Amino acid sequence: MLFIAEIGLNHNGNFDLAYELIRQAKASGADIVKFQLGWRDKPGELNHITYEVIRNLKKWSAFFDIQLLFSILTPEAYEMAKKYNFDTYKIASRTVKENPDLIKKMAKDGHNLIISLGMWERKTPPVPKNEKVKYLWCKSLYPAYPWDLVDLPKDFKKSIYDGYSDHSIGIEIPLIAIARGAEIIEKHFTLDKSDRSIRDHVLSATPHEFETMVNIGRTINRSLKLGV
């Protein structure tokens, strides 16, 4: 069972805050912290991640003993990230829709890929599913309300999906997904849900919510594996 704390742009352009978000994510039970590379990334924009920022994020994640993951949104972002020899990347729904050739290249390069399919409308996935390619069910609405999620897989084990990338408010839907067999949960993470800097804060989990989700979710997952 893997829990990804999606920090994304919730650092609000303050990368000192990213240090605290990583620290809190680890304390909340996350296995992975995730940032976005190639989105709102020009100088002066909210998510202008430089090589120095990547080095700091790597150092901070190593210090807190938590895996660092990047969503890759553009070929330029991929070239930037390759300098750091990450073995795993996240692929956002937007990239799947707008740049499927990039995904094929990354898969050909032999990386482990975790791919959200929130904007994918074809019947077959963009690259074949194998031991290095994991797919997440996703609804690309911000936020996604319960009535938007009625097509959440009823049994993840009978689908192509290994897990669920969540944009709902609260932690109930991720727990439903775990009860239905999801092995990976990605949930946005914030220190302040009332922050209006970007829309993602309101649909994120606070440290307390994330910790509750992890504790309950792991118990559900273990119980399912016992045959409950």
pLDDT digits (tens, 9 = 90+) for 76-91: 999 999 999 999 999 9
Backbone angles phi, psi at 80, to 5 degrees: -65, -45
pLDDT digits (tens, 9 = 90+) for 42-62: 999 999 999 999 999 999 999
Asked whether 190 and 33 are in contact (CB, 8 A), the reply is: no
Domain boundaries, the chain: 2-225
Rounded-to-integer distance, Cα 185 and Cα 5, Å: 9
CATH architecture of 2-225: Alpha-Beta Barrel (3.20)
In the predicted model, what is the mean pLDDT of the chain? 96
